[in-house]
Amino acid sequence: MQLTGPAIEKRMHQTVFQHLLNKAPDIVIEPYFPECLGSNSYDLHLDKVLSVYKCTLPKGMKPVIFCEEKTAVPGEYSMRDWFYDAHAYEDYCLRPENYDIRNPKYMLNPFDKKSHETIDITIPETGAILNPNLGYLGSTFEYTETRNIFPYIDGKSTIGRNFILNHHTAGRGDDGFCGQWTLEIRVLCPTLVMPYMRIGQIYYEQFRGRRKPYNRNPHSHYNNQAGPTPAAPLKMDQCLLDYVAQKNKELTI
């Protein structure tokens, strides 16, 4: 059962029971603006900091193109603008394979912490152009807390129609999550983004069953995250590896 806009707003207020137990309301959105409340969602905004993984950015290339004016229009920029200097651009023209993100030299290793080192970019008020060959970590400007219900985020219709993907796979949240939402952003073509633009919507659904809050789960990685948060190194589940080994052992007997 999905909460309507008025129901979302209602759940942001403490009940008498929560007040007596000194507990926070089921939904916290900070800052909160009534005009951002929709029929069954609340609009979220893009914070001004983006991150890219160092290992995915070719040497000499800019992670974004900073716009000098808010009136930036197609045709004002060229491939040369993706490079810091003329030497790097000339090298790209001679050896484009060295700047192709499909080159395995730019491999992202989910199991290696060093692979998740980032470069931070602050989007100026005049905006920045994102590169369709790169993945960006962003975050919502809003800090949220959710209890007793299930939150998830999705792109706004206008964002989708501009082919901006605001969460690559992780649009689903957890009961008990507290923090800003990290966004995995991709664009289909070079695309202008602005700090504090509306980037998506948060929805809430009622669930049934015994609770296992995210902020009390010892295996949670991202509670209380602030700003674009890199991926935690992926670990193999030893329980599954032991299971596979046991099954293989049984097959050889």
Q: Catalytic site residues?
A: 184
How far apart, in whole angstroms, are the C-alpha atoms of residue 146 and residue 245? 40
What backbone torsions phi and psi does residue 120 show, to the nearest 5 degrees? -95, 140
How far apart, in whole angstroms, are the C-alpha atoms of residue 64 and residue 133? 11
Q: Tell me the helix, strand and coil percentages in the chain, rounded to 5.
A: 25, 30, 45
- CA dist 170 → 5, 65, 67, 150, 181 (Å): 23, 26, 29, 14, 10
Token pair for 235: 């670990």
Nearest to 78 by CA among 190, 193, 178, 216: 190
Nearest to 148 by CA among 219, 202, 226, 214: 214
Helices (H), 106-194: 157-161
How far apart, in whole angstroms, are the C-alpha atoms of residue 211 and residue 219? 15
How far apart, in whole angstroms, are the C-alpha atoms of residue 116 and residue 168? 16
| Contact indicator for 185, 166 with CB cutoff of 8 Å | yes
